Structure 1
Amino acid sequence: MNARRRNQCHHADRMPSRRQVLGLAAAGGAAWILQGCAHKDRVCADNRITRPNTMRPNILILHADQMRFDALGCNGNRHARTPNLDALAAEGTVFTRHFAANPVCTPSRATLFSGLYVPGHGIWRNGIPLPRRDDYGPAALRNWPMPGHMELTKTPVLMPDLFAAAGYDTLSLGKLHFTPFRAPREYGFGECTRLMYDGALSDWHGPYYGFRHVEMTCGHGEEPCRGGHYADWLRANHPDVYARANSTKPPEAYPLPGRKNIWASPVPADLHNSIWLADRFADYLTKRKAEAPPFFAFVGFPDPHHAFAPSFDLVEQFANAEVPEPADPEGEAWPEPEERQRLASHCLRSLTPEQRRVYIRYTYAMVHNIDRAVGRIVAALKASNCWDNTIIVFTSDHGDFLCDHALLLKAQFGSRSLLHVPFVLRAPGAGLPARTATPMSNCDVLPTLAALAGLHAPGDIHGCDIVPIVRDRRDHVALAHCYTGEAARNNCTIHDARYRLTCYPATGRIELYDQQQDPGEVCNLAGTRAVADVQEHLRRLLVERTFSLSNPTLGRLAQW
């Protein structure tokens, strides 16, 4: 079997078209799933999809923002304080080579929810809304004609569309980032910060991109205290904390001189938005009726995305915590000098090693609060008798340099610091091992969860059901595509079971890292004789797969 054939998925069982799923989701119907359907002259009678709703598992995705793979104890970090996530991992499977399809929020999340790589869904940077003809925000707030790319572009089937069409109740709490935060308020997008700050979205709870009910947080750091449903709750129930969170910070609030992206939040940990999200989900479970349909729920934690603003009481707990040393701490191995100049605002060379550790400690404090929230969510699932029948995912959209290579935050690179993210899957009865090094992309999440629930994923997505790939020990690869608007900086990445290869097509530059022997990516092997065959094989596979995925659709304003 040739490499291309071996690394592609077989989608013969996938049945519904985009139009079928979206139409059924909007109507709340599930006839094609319960009765079987014809697709391309083929009739399926798969017993997996004929189970009544009461027998289907609930699906819960717990999603952090900008969390690196090594942020968790279960991923080998002895400094992490994540007992609840570690316990969740002990009951499921840890994917040690799970990679995001893009190192920034919206493109990666578009891949997670659609099962399409970036060349397929077209969301190449933040600031581009996912195409949607109707439920992208409250209709009453739209004061503009629908842009052409929203009206004429094929609308991707998202996970909530698929599960809603199958009769699931669909719920999202927290950050989604399907539409631009900074868009003009006239667009009426459901995640517009201006509308949230003004309170215009306070009484709106969806529908939104297939979700029946949404409760939004706004931005990061202390932005969630300024607008959105969490801010509404905080203002109504804890007005003193709300006032402190929205007051001007004195200079001494910032622990690092000249750095305004790190401080201790005056919001105590138990009132933080991470805990609020857990409590909102627990409240949802409490109010569910015994005969309620299964749920597909997404809990989107805004942390540990910058700004670095953990609760003050957690900052105290982590004040002297030991943290791991970053890879390539002085940035001597990567990136190229020209790229480093472009990343001047990300550079940490002016900070001492101890000052850099403050960034890591503050990040670990935010991760710890997410872990506390996960503990509450698990307790609520058990108290509501939903634990045994709920498939749980914990993951993130991308990572953070977090002092690796003397850098902070993120950028459009194939770096392991940015693309390697946690993925814990608790799927009782799936027959998966406790740990697997099979490469996986967040592109594979939709078809995997659909199969575990006994549903058929859309037939034209790029991702694969990862469960049989892991069980059968088949080869698999994970891709990433980074676009910058400048051809010389665009790059594409492929991960196999051991290596990461990144190509810059316009310049011919190649990066090749042995991630088993060089996890910090300090020795670029590209061009060396010892791995010449590996380099050529991965390069060819990356080119073939990228060409097969490309499907430009955005930007069309009219029929002609």
Structure 2
Amino acid sequence: MKQTRRTFIQSTSAVVGALTVPKLISEAQAANPRKKYNILYLCSDQQHWQAQGSVDPFFDTPHQDALSAESTVFENAFCTTPQCSPSRSSMLTGFYPHRTEMMNNHGASGGTDLKLPTIGSHLQEAGYTTALFGKWHLGHNVDGNAGWDEERKKGPDPKTTELGVDFLERRAEDDKPFALFLMYLDPHDIYYYKPGESKVKIDDVDLPESWAKQDFESVPPVHREFMELNQGSFIVGGDEDDWKGYRDFYRQKVKLYDDHVGRVVAKLKELGLWENTIIVNTSDHGDMDTFHRLVFKGPFMYEHMMRIPMSIRVPGSSGPKRTDYNWVNVDTVPTLMELAGAKVPDCQGQSAASIVNGSKDVPERDYVIGQYYGKQTWVSPIRSIRWEGWKYNLYTDWGEELYDLKGDPEEIENLAKDPKHAKVKRRLRKRLDRWIKENDDPFYSLTTTKLDPNEAKTILSKSKQDASA
């Protein structure tokens, strides 16, 4: 059953409940028809969609590349928001941050404890043994934390892999299917980069076009504030080698995550579980990676913030190796539940299982909505719509951005004030406002707060704490 945009908004629950379970039977399942597919969910932290060797050879990710070659790769995959806690709340519940009530990171302004049931609870009800090891960052509410037969909701990454491998070894012979979620911290450790001190190799590093052409006068002033008065201040005024060092340090952290992927996948194959396990590889949000002379993540909605890696491998699948479907991480819950042959819960996401299994009847999403609330006590709400090759960003107090993604893929020229593009801007704004109204998004009631320059060190320290949590 195809879904139009209006069908998705008005009757998501009815549609996803009617979607059929894919008929994908591997050799392992044929030998044990009572057993459903296992699920292995691999998630990095702060990895943008280009940070894979299969997309950009600058990055060294052989294990993720090999996994992508065996998977359906969603080339247009997005997070709901470029912040850890709210994005993770979306991927694990199927709801946008304003519905999960986690609009900001846990413990920050607008950030609370996740109170909704997660996919862990849904999979338990479907007969799965569930486990989550690694970063959680969603608070301590009993309902939000339920659903995991085994858990260790903190790092470091080597411990996460150790626990994941041990879980696979203990569950390899079970008749009951398992769902193992490994939530890694890297490349979030980019926050430890120190120009002139960190060990980096910059001989092969190029800086992006937008680094050279960034015009902070043409974009909302919060971009400049973030760099000069907030987390970016450590590198403002640095020379090209400092910025190149950032890119290599980030590349190193991506490689560390890839090494963990390799160890877990190797163990899966060693135990004979490869042909009976669905494997997801993704991230919670991106990193600016020096694009636009920006670092880390902050109050901006560029592609390197919003676009994420996303691939799903289903044994025996006849689906495409690549798809341009607009995946949003609220689709995680309905997609995995359908692939598991289980009831799909009501949520704001839609199942993409039919894409993975090669069905002709696939879901549609003609535009993507992004949300942003703030960092710690610095609140700067933004809404974004990506539609028909254009992106429009609306700030509560700081203006607008309009980018032609086809003609200007690095989003260098802000066309929001160009009268030649007033018509397309009005069309995008109208569609965005309709989504806000239909989804009870409180955007227009949110209040911007001023940046406290004294908070910069606290924010950076908190980011490092989150990385080691």
Amino acid paired to 1:522: I
For residues 99-130 of structure 1, give each alpha carbon's deviation from its aligned partner in whole angstroms, at most 9, with x where no partner exists.
1111111011001111001121111111259x
Query: 1:385 and 1:2, CA in 2 relative to 1: closer, same or farther beyond 3 A?
Result: closer
Specify the code of the residue in structure 2 equivalent to 1:278: T
Which secondary structure state, in structure 1, belongs to the residue aligned with residue 165 of structure 2? helix
**Which residue pairs with 2:14 in the alignment?**
12
1:326 Cα shift?
Answer: 2.8
Partner Cα distance (1:437, 1:491) in 2: 25
* Alpha carbons of structure 1 residues 530 and 381: separation in structure 2 relative to 1, 3 Å: farther
User: Corresponding residue for 1:336?
Assistant: 220
Shift of 1:539: 2.1
Unaligned runs of 5+ in 1: 16-43, 130-148, 180-188, 192-205, 219-223, 225-272, 553-560
**1:433 partner SS:** coil
User: Is 1:73–2:74 an aligned residue pair?
Assistant: no
**Pair 536,362 (structure 1): closer, same or farther in 2 beyond 3 Å:** same
Q: Structure 2 residue aligned with 1:504, among 395, 413, 425?
A: 395
Partner in structure 2 of residue 242 of structure 1: none
Task: Compute the displacement of 1:211 (Å).
Answer: 1.1
Q: Normalising to structure 1: TM-score of the pair?
A: 0.67
- Measured in 1, the distance between the counterparts of 2:387 and 2:8 equals 10
Between the aligned partners of 2:138 and 2:254, the Cα distance in structure 1 is 23
Alignment of 1:277-296 (within 5 A): 277-288=160-171, 290-296=173-179
**Distance in 1 between residues matched to 2:33 and 2:386, nearest whole Å:** 37
What amino acid maps onto 2:62 in structure 1? P
Write the distance in 1 (CA, Å) between the matches of 2:222 and 2:165: 49
Amino acid at match of 2:260: A
C-alpha change, 1:112 and 1:354, in structure 2 (3 Å) is same
Per-residue deviation, residues 73-119 of structure 1 (Å, max 9, x unmatched): 122x1111111100100011221211111111101100111100112
Which of 348, 371, 395 is the aligned partner of 1:481? 371
The answer (yes or no) to whether the contact 1:90–1:434 under 8 Å persists in 2 is yes
CA apart distance, 1:343: 3.6
Percent identity over paired residues: 28
Aligned residue type for 2:322: R
Contact kept? 2:392, 2:428, Cα under 8 Å: yes
Find 1:544's aligned residue among 427, 434, 439. 434
Q: Find out whether 1:90 has 2:69 as its counterpart.
A: yes
Q: Is the 8 A contact 1:54 1:294 kept in 2?
A: no
Q: Specify whether residues 45 and 450 from structure 1 end up closer, same or farther in structure 2 by C-alpha distance, changes over 3 A only.
A: closer
Give 1:51-450 correspondences, 5 Å limit: 54-75=34-55, 77-128=56-107, 155-179=115-139, 189=140, 208-218=145-155, 224=156, 273=157, 275-288=158-171, 290-309=173-192, 319-320=201-202, 322-330=204-212, 331-333=214-216, 335-337=219-221, 339-344=223-228, 345=230, 346-347=232-233, 348-450=235-337
Give the AA of the match of 1:361: D
Residues 5 and 365, structure 2, Cα contact 8 Å, conserved in 1: no
Long gaps (5+) in structure 2: 24-28, 443-469
Give the aligned partner of residue 349 of structure 2. 463
For the 8 Å contact 2:165–2:264, the answer to whether it is kept is yes
Q: Does the 8 A contact of 1:157 with 1:458 survive in 2?
A: no
Q: Is this contact kept in 2: 1:79–1:324, CA < 8 A?
A: no
Report whether the alignment pairs 1:517 with 2:401: no
Q: Which amino acid aligns with 1:215?
A: R
1:452 and 2:339 are equivalent in the alignment: yes
Higher strand share: 2
Q: Secondary structure, in 3 states, of the residue corresponding to 2:50? A: helix
TM-score (norm 2): 0.79
- Give yes or no for contact 1:321–1:361 (8 Å, CA) kept in 2: no
Q: Distance in 2 between matches of 1:207 and 1:511?
A: 36
Q: Which amino acid aligns with 1:539?
A: R
Looking at structure 1, the residues matched to 206 and 117 of structure 2 have their Cα atoms a distance apart, in angstroms, of 41
Distance 1:93 1:469 in 2: 8
What amino acid maps onto 2:435 in structure 1? R
The worse-fitting range, judged by mean Cα deviation, of 486-495 and 513-522 is: 486-495
Cα distance in 2 for residues equivalent to 1:84 and 1:301: 15
Query: 1:48/1:2 Cα in 2 relative to 1: closer, same or farther (>3 Å)?
Result: closer
Counterpart-to-counterpart distance in 1, 2:8 and 2:427: 12
CA distance in 1, matches of 2:364, 2:141: 41
The letter for the 1-side match of 2:165 is A
**Distance in 2 (alpha carbons) for counterparts of 1:426 and 1:464:** 18
Instruction: Give the Cα separation in 2 of the matches to 1:66 and 1:500.
Output: 21
Return the alpha-carbon distance in structure 2 between the equivalents of residues 13 and 454 of structure 1: 16
Instruction: Give distance in 2, aligned partners of 1:536 and 1:469.
Output: 33
* 8 Å contact kept, 2:116–2:144: no
Q: Provide, for residues 372-393 of structure 1, a one-character-per-residue CA deviation record: whole Å limited to 9, x for no partner.
A: 1111111111111111111111
CA 1:288–1:2: 2 relative to 1, 3 Å: closer
1:350 match: secondary structure:
coil
Tell me the amino acid that sits aligned with residue 302 of structure 1: L
Output the aligned Cα RMSD. Answer: 3.4
Aligned partner (choices 358, 382, 385) of residue 491 of structure 1: 382
Q: Is the 8 A contact 2:190 2:250 kept in 1?
A: no
Measure, in 2, the Cα distance between the counterparts of 1:373 and 1:279: 10
The separation in 2 between residues aligned to 1:476 and 1:447, in whole angstroms, is: 18
- Deviations along 1:202-226, one digit per CA (max 9) or x if unpaired, are xxxx9943111112435xxxxx4xx
Change (3 A) 1:531 1:392: farther
Bigger mean CA deviation after superposition, 323-332 or 372-381:
323-332
Aligned CA distance change for structure 1 residues 282 and 484 (closer, same or farther; 3 Å): closer
> Aligned partners of 1:517 and 1:54: how far apart in 2?
52
Q: Distance in 2 between matches of 1:53 and 1:168?
A: 15
How far the C-alpha of 1:396 sits from its partner, in A, is: 0.9
SS at match of 2:331: helix
- Tell me the SS of whatever aligns to 2:106: coil
In the comparison of the two structures, how many residue pairs are matched?
417
SS in structure 2 at match of 1:328: helix
1:433 deviates by 1.6
Q: In the alignment, which residue of structure 1 is the partner of 2:463?
A: none
Q: Deviations over 1:449-472 (max 9, x none)?
A: 11111122222x111112446854
The structure-2 alpha-carbon separation of the partners of 1:297 and 1:321, relative to structure 1 and needing over 3 Å to count, comes to farther
Alpha-carbon distance change, 324 to 209 in structure 1, aligned in 2, over 3 angstroms: farther
